[in-house]
Structure 1
Amino acid sequence: MPHSGRPDVLYVVHRTPYPPDKGDRIRAFNVLRYLSRRAAVHLAFLADEPVPEATTAALGRYCERVAAAPLGGSRWLRAAWSLARGRTITEGAFASPLLASIVRGWGEETRFTACLASASSVASYLRLPELCGAPAVVDLVDVDSQKWFDYAAASRPPSAWIYQTEGRRLRRLEQSLAGWARAVTVVSDAEAELFSRVCPSSKAHVIPLGVDLEYFRPTDAAGGEAGCVFVGALDYRPNVDAACWFCQEAWPEIHRRRPETRLRLVGRRPSAAVRRLAATPGVEVVGQVPDVRPYLSSAAVAVNPLRIARGLQNKVLEAMAMGKAVVASPQALAGLRQRDKAPALCATSTAEWVEIVGNLLDQPEQRRRLGAEGRRFVETHHNWDVCLSPFDSLLGLAAGGAAGARDPAISVPEGRA
């Protein structure tokens, strides 16, 4: 396929990478956009929901070719069967004969300079014989096995047993990557250190998350700043746990001292447990919105009380990019670059949350100072182009783009749920 002589890169993604409105989609889309300036990208992805034509068209602007493989309704049957056969739930849930067929066909037609997988769950597609000889890079993002161990520690049997089993098996899969992948990448120094303990014979390369500094930028709220906001997918277990803990443990005292203060929970598909939080005085469960920026802009404080967290949190970066004062748990801040210099306040105990959030609500000048410092911090340390630049050498691409590169200045949809 003609493409001005640029190198061909296969990018296999575990989920539809558009619109960039949640964690894994945000990273995958920005990786795609970055690579499109340096290579002819062949994008194949799994889809757990129908893919609108507009989505395919938007992705096609960055790609040499695009193909989606629907997972279908038997996904969780395959996951259970995989578990019963001694493999991981993850491998079964992301197994797709159609995706394998697409990759095989492309491998027969195209000699790829390199191949990239967006997660361990799709790494196996890079081992198909038709891709033999093409260097493979696996973007783990997080050492996902640890997430399952964390789930096990926070659960009761029989769920804890299943989570523990998945963690052990997924860890073996992660350890096996060193035997065949050119490189493994993760999102933070903390994840790289964990990977070095999991797989002492291999090194993980750190490619941090960035933030869209044009989209998320400070604005003046029409009605002024007030209250707190928590943003995140409200059907995702770590976010559900964080919202419930904060509303039950820390928020009642914050609200008792300042009865006029409101906490808004913003994000897609609130679980039943999250919806019940609307009965808590001062808590508003907003749910899914087309654009989170007005909710961030109007809040005085952005809170992120995650207790189960891996890697780096987009919601922290986005709030800082908008010039918001951020209070977060140690887990939510662990993935930041230059963590010791990050202008975000850390709270661990209930008492710390109550005091730190309360003080910020009462001190607008301190909020503004923290917000301005946060914006400068992400501009310096979490610019996407800077963050993703290690892919140039790992994938064998020319730094700074190539002749015939696609124009990356394509508008990203304004809705961020």
Structure 2
Amino acid sequence: MHILVVYPYIPYPIDRGTYQRVFHLLRELAREHTIDLIALSENGERAEHRGIFEAFCRKVVFVPFEHPPWPRLFPNRLLNPLPTTVRHWWLPQLADTITEMLDQSSYDMVHVCDIVMAQYFLDDHLQIPLSVDRSRVDLQFQEEQYARMPKGLKSSLLHHEQIWKLRRFEHKVARRSSVQVVCGPDDEQFIHSEVSPNVPVQVVTNGVDLDYFSPSSSEVSRDPSPTVLYCGAMDYMPNIDALRWYFGEIHSYLKKAVPDLKVLIVGKSPVAEVTAYGDLPDVTVTGGVPDVRPWYRRAWAQIVPLRIGGGTRLKIPESMAMGTPVISTTIGAQGLHLLHGTDILLADTPEMFAHYTERMLHDEVLRKKIEDRGMQTCRSRFGWPGLGQQLSSYYSQHFQPAEDSHEHN
């Protein structure tokens, strides 16, 4: 099959969770299908990595752009039927590039990343099947995020305006989609219950590069003192909220039970609130690091106190693959089908989260059991080749190649 792929960014270097998913799935799709790639390059950045994609894509086009300013509330935002978060990604130069590519070549389908790229196919190019790969379900994410934000009259009104428009837009994308690819069954359930019961949904869970993330990939030893890690992009609202909950309601419980506890916060672009946690005793905020694997190996366990779902949750399979056991909220581990007490420990209240973290740190037998089982589970279920094959097979079964899928000129 010939597939046109459209991304809102260049997913390399792989320094964000979403980049891991889209990069590895793209590479796996290219093993069986011919891929042409269009990707946005913000301010021309990351374009020097073209060769990485040319190694497995037939054609690679990077479209430079600058984010437009956010519109004024009135009249630009309120009178526009599109959600602001979607309209922000409408770029005439990208629309022209898509049209040019479709005019030059025959494609059996288009694969886009997230609904902001789906908007280019809602009123135009209606003849070609559309697959929307969703690293998160936007409507679900924004509703959960709003539930954790401070409330005020203005923020409440803007939220309801955004949700109303986003819901309408989600319905339109669902009608146009030949399939939506999501990270977990919770995302599938939300789409079918809140957006459309009829849109085809294919679940492709997130995975891990098992060659890169393995205990043998780092010679670093465990820290001598009990140490927990939280890893992720530290300018991403769910991660900020997770740390806010942990330090506001969990850390004091845990510190009493484990007085010599050390906390590592590892991830790029920490906002001021996250940076401030580094002023606490025995808390280290690293910012971006060139290689996260040594930090995984230093930690005795990773904590994932997420309260906002809809994300890629790649930190959990990464940690498990590195042999670092995980304590998570249920929502943090949604879609991964991990067994509490076997693959992972799950807790949803501050008291239980602190309790299970303390058990993980003090009970070496339990920690070793979950460490070993986590690595086994990763090897059997979370390797990208198997997940990519799952998506590739779905496309082959559901989208017939065009009779003439070769260059027109």
TM-score normalised by structure 1 residue count: 0.88
Which residue among 104, 119, 142 is the counterpart of 2:99? 104
Residue 27 of structure 1: aligned partner: 21
Aligned to 1:153: 147
Aligned residues: 392
Match of 2:212 in 1: 215
Gaps of 5+ in 2: 400-409
Change in 2 beyond 3 A, CA 1:120/1:89: same
CA distance in 1: counterparts of 2:126 and 2:58, whole angstroms: 21
How far did residue 65 of structure 1 move?
Answer: 1.4
Q: CA deviation at 1:183?
A: 1.2
Instruction: Note if 1:9 corresponds to 2:3.
Output: yes
Instruction: Pick closer, same or farther for the CA change 1:160–1:183 going to 2, 3 Å.
Output: same
Contact 1:8/1:111 (<8 A) preserved: yes
Q: Following TM superposition, by how much is the alpha carbon of 1:54 offset from its aligned partner in structure 2, in angstroms?
A: 3.0
The one-letter code of the counterpart of 1:178 is: A
8 A contact 2:86–2:116 mirrored in 1:
yes
Structure 1 unmatched runs, 5+: 1-6, 400-417
- The verdict on how the C-alpha distance between 1:165 and 1:380 changes in structure 2, with shifts beyond 3 A counting, is farther
Superposed counterparts of 1:106-255, under 5 Å: 106-127=101-122, 129=124, 131-155=125-149, 156-157=151-152, 158-198=154-194, 199-219=196-216, 222-225=220-223, 226-255=226-255
Instruction: Return the alpha-carbon distance in structure 2 between the equivalents of residues 398 and 348 of structure 1.
Output: 39
Partner of 1:59: 53
Measured against aligned partners, the alpha-carbon deviations of 1:201-222 in whole angstroms (never above 9, x if no partner) come to 2231111111111111124764
Q: For structure 1, which segment, 340-349 or 285-294, has the greater mean C-alpha deviation from structure 2 after superposition?
A: 340-349
Q: How far, CA to CA, are the matches of 1:398 and 1:37 in structure 2?
A: 18
Cα 1:327–1:49, aligned 2, differ >3 Å: closer, same or farther?
A: farther
Amino acid at match of 2:347: A
Would you say the 8 A contact 1:16–1:47 is kept in 2? yes
Aligned CA distance change for structure 1 residues 397 and 341 (closer, same or farther; 3 Å) = farther
One-letter amino acid of the structure 1 residue matched with residue 157 of structure 2: W
Q: Is the 8 A contact 2:67 2:88 kept in 1?
A: no
Alignment of 1:62-73 (within 5 A): 62-73=56-67
* 1:195 alignment partner AA: I
SS in 1 for 2:49: helix
Q: CA RMSD in A?
A: 2.3
In the superposition, relative to structure 1, how do residues 181 and 203 fare at CA in structure 2: closer, same or farther (>3 Å)?
closer
Q: 1:210 to 1:341 in 2, by over 3 A?
A: farther
Partners of 2:73 and 2:344 lie apart in 1 by 39
C-alpha distance in 2 between matches for 1:68 and 1:78:
29
Give the structure-2-normalised TM-score. 0.89
**Structure 2 SS opposite 1:34:** helix
| Identity between Structure 1 and Structure 2 (%) | 25
2:22 and 2:379 map into 1 onto residues whose CA distance is 20
Q: Distance in 1 between matches of 2:73 and 2:178?
A: 28
* Alpha carbons of structure 1 residues 82 and 383: separation in structure 2 relative to 1, 3 Å: farther
What CA distance in whole angstroms lies between the structure 1 residues aligned with 2:291 and 2:79? 42
Once residues 42 and 131 of structure 2 are traced to their aligned partners in structure 1, the CA distance between those partners, rounded to angstroms, is 24
Query: Structure 1 residue 277: deviation in Å?
Result: 0.9
Q: What is the match of residue 402 of structure 1? A: none
| Contact 2:229/2:303 (<8 A) preserved | yes
Aligned partners of 1:275, 1:340: CA distance in 2, in Å?
A: 32
Match of 1:235, SS state, is coil
Q: Secondary structure at the match of 2:134?
A: strand
